Structure 1
Amino acid sequence: MVDRPRMDEADPLSWMREQMPVLRTLGAAGEPLAGTTVGVASHLEPSTGFFIETLHEAGAEVLATASQADSTHDDVVDHLDSLERVETFADASMDDDALDAAHRRLLDREPELLLDDGAELVVKAHDDVSDVAGAVRAAAEQTTSGVSRVEAMADADRLRVPVYRVNHTPMKHQFDNVHGTGESALTNIAMITNTIIAGRTVVVAGYGYVGKGVARKARDLGAETVVTEIDPRKALKARMDGHRVVPMAEAAAEGDLFVTATGNCRVIRDEHFERMPDEAMLANVGHMDVELDLDALRERAVEVTETDQGITRYHLPDGRRLDVLARGRLVNLTGPFSQGHPAAVMDTTFGAMFVAGRDLADGPVPEPGVHDLPDDLDREVAELELDAMGIDIDSPTDLQSAYLDSWDREGTLEAWEQGDWD
């Protein structure tokens, strides 16, 4: 077990250090990143702050920016700027254009390693404006949408650096995407609206790992869950998991709460707004704020009001009112009370990003392209988390290891039983 540090109420990261033992352990294991300049793009809230602090403790020079506007905590930025070898390129007042300019200022410093969210830095490092990809040794990506972007770059023969798709590891999929987003999204929806999830019809658009988490948590809270999908396999998975599966045109007429989790654009659009019941609520947990077609909704509305913090009400000509939460941005990160994912979940995600960065900075890197995080690194993070939780598991015996590695399993057992074992 890792010793728990004492918390300091004046320090914005003190609670994160308490709740993130994997990062504490990794940060205390020497300085494997000494001499490496690391560019980090993520939501600059307290758990990210502790991740950046951990990179700093590991010896890195860290250049940090936000991956999206509206999710930056200025107290976290101030703390990070107080550290030697850490410089931030974000503040809470930035809009999308200002943040884009900040990303480019960071890239002008030519970091060797990019630890990214949404592929914001990787994409900009390759475009015609900055084109500094030649200075980048490697990168790691922590989100579904970011992985899809770098995969598209690789398919178009535009990707000039190796990128670990940390998002696709078991630790990231099963913990961050399912439990982190699923739980934090519904928690923040309930806090913003002061409403109950139980008894409502919750429509979840998309049944990847994030959508799966939202739908599962909503049903556990007592909601009737409806899933919409464009992938037949994911639709079938949702149905076999017990959710009703219908097209969005049908779901639109009956949902009380709509949550988009697709990573795509214009998922809920004008023909769906036309059918929604009065006071339906709409939220997004996909990476970008393009899943809800708010331009179409604004054009349809006769009036737009702010009914409360984080709630924008669109008054329609027929008297219906549709409430958009957190302006259609990530509801678990940009709402008025948002803190992002639970710290215990982000501990494993940032732990995986840390070991990815350590591996890419310390050893030979793969060829340019998109690569899986090596399995032994993902297992390392899982083992650290189990250790922090005080959980022991079994180890395979020599026979069990040999049996699983053998194609002639019957022969392996016979050799073992007869003592003819080499």
Structure 2
Amino acid sequence: MSNATDWGPLGAVRKQSPLLRAAADRYRETTPFENLTVGVSAPMTPHTGLFLDVLATGGAKVLATGEAGSTHAAVVEWLQERPRITPLAATEHSRHERRDARREVLAAEPDLIADDGANLLSLVHDEFPDVAEGLRGACEQTTGGITRLQAMDNQDVLACPVYDVNGTPMKQHFDNVHGTAESSLSAITSLTDTLLAGSVAVVAGYGHCGRGIARKLRALGARTVVTEVDPRKALEALADGHDVRPMAEAVTEAEFVITATGRYQVLRDEHVDALADGTVIASIGSAVEVDREALASHATDSDQPRPGTTRYRFPDGREVTLLTDGKVVNLTAPNSTGNPGEVMDTTFAMMIRGLVALADGVSLEPGLHPVPDDLDRAVAHEKLAAMAVEIDDIPDKQRAFHSEWAFHDSSAVE
């Protein structure tokens, strides 16, 4: 990683990213990606720019595309000046142009893929099957992407090994629970200038992202309602103190509806007529969770009272506001950069460790695989060290006791 990252659009996040700085120092010497091409699809934020720079520092030729509404022009301009990095993203790219950019990445026949939403992985299997079979492997970091990859894996479609970075404890409990929640609530309040305390906030989905945002809403004084399709997660939400209701019932009193599922049309046509007057709707999971066409078809007219907000008026006089056109709010709100640098540091460090293992030729069958526990623990230990936090080690006697299965009565052990 060059000293150039101390300034410009990546300067602030570089200071928040001790793991990526250490990775750059480590891989500058070992060059694990030498003579390899890495294809990347991710929001083109400063955090992603730093990640791409580490890959290039490790010897990779990097081709990267952005995502809808989250491309930072200054980051793209900076990357264009970096050796071995080709950014194929622009703030004004249409959906078709983004897809063409992904095709350009895949036409370069990458050896490795780092994905966000499985956009490259789904396309490579659909349109570039020979390239898919030639991949050493890939890493996917999002809930929505893993949902798509699980479907592909269940249908025996995946032609290469893919590490489920989203499933690691470090990703789930820090990036998803804390990073997504805090950055999303910051975006929502900045877009609406509305007080969360005392409001009724509906959270769709009680996975790690949903549970994180529901808990932080409660901490800020909101009255929280959770909607779920999984009975176990619904029970967990209930036990955590949230009200649990079906979506059609929950939205009748909602001041905020926040979807956090990565699923298709969680808020859809059948819910529009039930929405309370003044409801603010936001997605923190994916761009497909809110049925925008249903909102538009029910409305008599709409306007944009401020950047990043669309207000719909219905025949009965109700008004509801959709934030960032239903796209992921913490990435696409004006001036937003996604999750905080401290948690993106750990997530991208995990992505890099997974890619290094795949570059080294780890033996894995095609399909979706958990990231090895030792890699996850290594990232956690490295993060603690960067924060100057020490923890205990397990004494030899304790380790021996817990590995001995033949004890019948642990209370009698001398």
Cα offset, 1:408, TM superposition: 2.2
CA contact (8 A) 1:162 1:365 kept: no
Picking from 358, 372, 375, the partner of 1:374 is 372
Match of 2:37 in 1: 37
Rounded to whole Å, the distance in 1 between the matches of 2:128 and 2:55 is 28
Match of 2:151 in 1: 152
Cα offset, 1:377, TM superposition: 0.5
Query: 399-408 or 19-28: which moved more?
Result: 399-408
Rounded to whole Å, the distance in 1 between the matches of 2:412 and 2:234 is 46
Over 3 Å counting, the alpha-carbon distance change for 1:252 and 1:363 in structure 2 is same
1:27 is aligned to 2:24 = yes
Match of 2:12 in 1: 15
Over 3 Å counting, the alpha-carbon distance change for 1:286 and 1:298 in structure 2 is same
Rounded to whole Å, the distance in 1 between the matches of 2:395 and 2:87 is 49
CA contact (8 A) 1:191 1:337 kept: no
Match of 1:115 in 2: 114
1:383 is aligned to 2:384 = no
Instruction: Specify the code of the residue in structure 2 equivalent to 1:14.
Output: G
Over 3 Å counting, the alpha-carbon distance change for 1:140 and 1:242 in structure 2 is same
Rounded to whole Å, the distance in 2 between the matches of 1:50 and 1:338 is 17
Over 3 Å counting, the alpha-carbon distance change for 1:60 and 1:128 in structure 2 is closer
Match of 1:82 in 2: 81
- TM-score normalised by length of structure 1: 0.94
Structure 1 counterpart SS, 2:127: coil
Query: 197-206 or 55-64: which moved more?
Result: 55-64
Rounded to whole Å, the distance in 2 between the matches of 1:374 and 1:34 is 23
Instruction: Specify the code of the residue in structure 1 equivalent to 2:15.
Output: E
Output aligned runs, 1:336-347, within 5 Å. Answer: 336-347=334-345
Instruction: Specify the code of the residue in structure 1 equivalent to 2:361.
Output: G
- TM-score normalised by length of structure 2: 0.95
Instruction: Specify the code of the residue in structure 1 equivalent to 2:22.
Output: T
Cα offset, 1:331, TM superposition: 0.4
1:283 is aligned to 2:282 = yes
1:65 is aligned to 2:62 = no
Over 3 Å counting, the alpha-carbon distance change for 1:115 and 1:97 in structure 2 is same
Match of 1:174 in 2: 173
Over 3 Å counting, the alpha-carbon distance change for 1:303 and 1:70 in structure 2 is same
Cα offset, 1:413, TM superposition: 10
CA contact (8 A) 2:106 2:128 kept: no
Match of 1:294 in 2: 292
Cα offset, 1:270, TM superposition: 2.4
Over 3 Å counting, the alpha-carbon distance change for 1:318 and 1:278 in structure 2 is same
Query: 144-153 or 204-213: which moved more?
Result: 144-153
Q: Unpaired segments of 5 or more residues in structure 1?
A: 418-422
Match of 1:53 in 2: 53
Over 3 Å counting, the alpha-carbon distance change for 1:6 and 1:158 in structure 2 is closer
Instruction: Specify the code of the residue in structure 1 equivalent to 2:19.
Output: V
Query: 160-169 or 88-97: which moved more?
Result: 88-97
Picking from 323, 333, 336, the partner of 1:335 is 333
Structure 1 counterpart SS, 2:393: coil
Structure 2 counterpart SS, 1:384: helix
Instruction: Specify the code of the residue in structure 2 equivalent to 1:32.
Output: P
Q: Unpaired segments of 5 or more residues in structure 2?
A: none
Instruction: Specify the code of the residue in structure 1 equivalent to 2:38.
Output: V
Cα offset, 1:131, TM superposition: 4.9
Instruction: Specify the code of the residue in structure 1 equivalent to 2:317.
Output: G
Equivalent pairs counted in the alignment come to 409
Cα offset, 1:411, TM superposition: 8.8
Rounded to whole Å, the distance in 1 between the matches of 2:137 and 2:126 is 16
Over 3 Å counting, the alpha-carbon distance change for 1:6 and 1:45 in structure 2 is closer
Over 3 Å counting, the alpha-carbon distance change for 1:138 and 1:122 in structure 2 is same
Between the aligned residues of both structures, percent identity stands at 47
1:311 is aligned to 2:318 = no
Match of 1:420 in 2: none
Structure 2 counterpart SS, 1:39: strand
Output aligned runs, 1:168-317, within 5 Å. Answer: 168-287=167-286, 289-317=287-315
Cα offset, 1:104, TM superposition: 0.4
Rounded to whole Å, the distance in 2 between the matches of 1:141 and 1:227 is 27
1:7-34 alpha-carbon deviations (Å, 9 max, x no partner): 855x110111100111111111132222
Rounded to whole Å, the distance in 2 between the matches of 1:149 and 1:6 is 37
Cα offset, 1:332, TM superposition: 0.4
Instruction: Specify the code of the residue in structure 1 equivalent to 2:328.
Output: L
Cα offset, 1:63, TM superposition: 1.1
1:207-254 alpha-carbon deviations (Å, 9 max, x no partner): 011100110111111100000000000000000111000111110101
Rounded to whole Å, the distance in 2 between the matches of 1:412 and 1:299 is 67
Cα offset, 1:149, TM superposition: 1.1
CA contact (8 A) 1:264 1:291 kept: yes
Instruction: Specify the code of the residue in structure 1 equivalent to 2:9.
Output: P
Query: 26-35 or 147-156: which moved more?
Result: 26-35
Cα offset, 1:55, TM superposition: 1.2
RMSD value, Cα: 1.7
